[in-house]
Each structure stands twice: as structure tokens, then as C-alpha cells.
Amino acid sequence: MSSNVKRTVIVGGGVIGLSAALAAAESGHRVTVIDPAIDNHAESSGASWMAGGMLAPVTEAWFGEEARLALDIAALKAWPAFATKISRTAGQDLVINTAGTIQIALDIDDARDLERVRNFQNSMGLKAEALSRDQLLDIEPLLSPQVVAGSLISTDLSVDNRALVDTLKLACAHSGIEFIPQQVRRMTQVADRVTVVGTADGEFPCDDLVIAAGAWSSEILKMISTDSEHSIPVIRPIRGEILRLKSEITALRHTLRAHVHGFHVYLVPRANGEVVVGATQFERGFDARPTAGGVYELLRDARELLPYVKEMEFLEARVGLRPGSPDNAPIIDRVPGVANVILATGHYRNGILLTSIAGDLIAALIDHRDLPADAYLVSLDRFSGVTR
């Protein structure tokens, strides 16, 4: 390998770190991904392995978040080409479930709320189609007879997030990317550059460093001395309990979403008969132990939508830690005060969706290339106090 080839070290091998690794390798960099969970994501509480896998800008859109929606829509549009590309590099197919998403109302008040949300969605040019009770039961016959009305959002899709992680890893391996299954413990800094990333067992020189450590990103940032006049927003872990159930028959085609007993619940079907039921949302530091209450609420609410849930095999109850920024939008930007560090985190509830565009954005930052117009939505400039 030529000595002109730049070395990029990426801390974190979730979907954001892996997609950044692939894009950087494609730009000609020599890439190392360091993550203690890289050989066994199932043992970590990283968000990428735990997620529901919804590619759902419309049903995640909420009043007041119209600006961010542009980014989410761009990510959804990029998904088919992204899936084709990583599948080709990996030599295995990553399949997108294109059946769409149904939002469901279980009583008249819910139906009124759903209509309000549908008007909001349609006012932004997003397509949400009203469904009667009969139409709902026609397209998903195992739904509860208690359902009152619904909306079909045919553009909100899903992907098996675990298959995504595996495909990205395989694509990385085929692209010559090195994996180091260790925890990053320290950084060596010379003037305004991080020159070496240290683990318990090794030292990894770098020309560029990408911090893509999800909910742990602020812990990694603390290892670097940035100019004290720049305060970088803190990334906090937001826990989400999530269940995996399985049945012999294909219980569902569409993703189902509803508001039950005051909580949001979703059921995301997989091609192999699995159904992912998610997810609770609250903050309790890095504690990743599922609670009986969380599991109970998810099962109770899922059963209201799909009574067949009680017949299904219970596979798993886990907690994933979503990386949340102060405004819950991603941060993909250069770290002020250091010349060669990029922060790529804060993807919160939409990191699987945003994987399709995050890697290219990170590679463009590494190479000092021009960024697309909507990149300002993920820049640090939006936070007051961060100056350059």
C-alpha cells in the first residue's frame, strides 16, 4: 500500500461507523474500525443491533420537525441504491420490505388524532391514505376487530437491521477494512491533531479520526482536548426496550403503528416470521437491563393491535441505547479545535434510516469535499456557543 494512502480510524462499528468505513475505503483511505462489539454485536447494547429497522420518515415526522424531514426523505430515497451497492460488495442480498406502514386508531378519539396527523402529513406532500376498518381487516386479517380506522403510508418501509449490520460488515471485510475488537481507551494528540488511538492492547496511528460511538460518543470526545472555547453538545443515551417474537405463520405484512394506553407501539414484521415489538423510551444513563414493566407494557399494547401476539414464541427482550443530541437531530461535523476529528453521532430514533446517506457525508468531510445543501441540518453550527 502506498505511503500516500491516508489512515482513517473509526471508533464505533454500529451502522454509522460501518457505513462511514465503507465510504472512506471507497475514497481510497486505509480504514480501521475499532469496537469491542464488532465480532459480536448481540452482546452489546449498541442501538444498531437492537433497532426496529423502520425506514419511516413519514410516520416519524412530527409537528415542528419539518426541517429535519428533508434529511429523512433524502435518506429514504437513497436506500434502494444503497442496499444494492452494499449487497453487491458483500455478495449477499439485503432486502427492503416494501409493504409499507399502517397507522391504526383503536377508538374514535384516536381516529380523530390520526386524521389530524394525516392532514399534517399530506400538507407536507407526504402520501397518507385513509383506511376504513373493513379495509384494514382486509389487508391485515389478524388485526384486532376493535380497530376503528387507519392510514396507509406506502412509502414508509423497513429493513432487518441485524441483516444490515451483517451485510455492512461483510462489505467492509471485502473492501479491505480492518476490524479491531477492542475498546478505545485513550488518544495521543500532537498540537491540534489526534495522531494515535489507543486500546488496552494496541496503538493505531491515524491521519483522520471518526467518532461514531453512538450513545458513548461523548465518552470518546472526553479523551481529546479540544479548544476550551468550544463546548461540544453532550450526547446522552436514551434507552429503548424492544422485543422479538416469532410465529410459524407470517402474521403480518405491513409495519403497524399505534398509540395505545398513552404509549406509542410498533410491530415490524420480518420475512422469517419474526415480529419486532418496540419500543419504550426513557433516560436512565447507560443501564441496559430490561424491566418487567417495559416488557409488560409492550406485550399488552401489541396484543391490543394483534391478539395473535399471545400465540407467538417469545424470543428476546433487550435494551438498546439511542444516541441523543440536545435537539435529537444527528451531528455529522468536524470537531472544532482539532484538525482531524469528525463526530458522527446523535442519530437517535432514525439511525437505520440515515445510514444510507451518513457514510457519504462523513467521507466528504474527511476529504474536505463540498457537502450537500441539507448538510447544515447535521452541522454543529446549529448549536449556539459552537464557534469556529
Ligand X SMILES: Cc1cc2nc3c(=O)[nH]c(=O)nc-3n(C[C@H](O)[C@H](O)[C@H](O)COP(=O)(O)OP(=O)(O)OC[C@H]3O[C@@H](n4cnc5c(N)ncnc54)[C@H](O)[C@@H]3O)c2cc1C
Residues within the interface to ligand X (CB under 6 A): 11-17, 34-37, 44, 46-48, 50-54, 183-184, 212-216, 220, 240, 242, 278-279, 320, 322-323, 345, 347-353
Least CB distance from residue 222 to ligand X, whole Å?
Answer: 11
State which residue, 233 or 278, has the beta carbon closest to ligand X.
Answer: 278
Measured distance CA(374)–CA(203) in Å, rounded: 36
Q: Return phi, psi of residue 250, to 5°.
A: -80, 105
Closer to ligand X at the Cβ: 16 or 149? 16
Nearer to ligand X by Cβ, of 95 and 108: the residue is 95
Rounded least distance, CB 45 to ligand X, Å: 8
Q: From the CB of 221, what's the least distance to ligand X, in Å?
A: 11
Q: E strand or H helix at 237, and its extent? A: strand 236-246
* Angle ∠(213,218,222) on CA atoms, nearest 5: 115
* CA 256 to the chain's CA centroid: 19
Nearest CA among 83, 181, 61, 35 for reference residue 127: 61
CA-closest candidate to residue 105, choices 93, 121, 117 = 117
Q: Reading across the β-sheet that carries 129-132, which strands appear in turn?
A: 129-132, 149-153, 101-105, 255-260, 263-269, 274-278, 236-246, 313-324
Q: How far is the CB of 187 from ligand X (least distance, A)?
A: 11
Q: Per-residue b/e over 173-183, b at no fewer than 16 CB within 10 Å?
A: eebebebbebe
Least distance in angstroms from the C-beta of 183 to ligand X: 4
Residue at shortest CB range from ligand X:
351
Least CB distance to ligand X at residue 216 (A): 4
Residue (16 or 147) nearer to ligand X, CB: 16
Q: Residue 154 phi/psi, 5° resolution?
A: -75, -15
What's the start-to-end Cα distance of the chain, in Å?
35
Distance set, CA 355 to CA 77, 190, 255, 349 (Å): 12, 32, 20, 12
Which residue, 148 or 223, has its beta carbon nearer to ligand X?
223
| Helices vs strands, H then E, count in the chain | 10, 20
Q: How far is the CB of 316 from ligand X (least distance, A)?
A: 12
Minimum Å distance from CB 34 to ligand X? 5
User: Least Å distance between CB 76 and ligand X?
Assistant: 10
Residue placing its CB nearer to ligand X in the complex, 149 or 212: 212
Q: Least distance (Å) from ligand X to the CB of residue 142?
A: 21
Which residue's CB is nearer to ligand X, number 13 or number 233?
A: 13
Burial bucket for residue 26 (CB in 10 Å: 0-12, 13-18, 19+): middle
Nearer to ligand X, 133 or 318 (CB): 318
**Which lies closer to ligand X via its Cβ, residue 72 or residue 149?**
72
Which residues make Cβ contacts (< 8 Å) with residue 359, sequence separation at least 6? 16, 19, 20, 21, 22, 23, 24
Task: Give the gyration radius of the chain's Cα atoms.
Answer: 21
**The one-letter amino acid at 309:** V
If the CB atoms of residues 60 and 140 are measured against ligand X, the closer one turns out to be 60
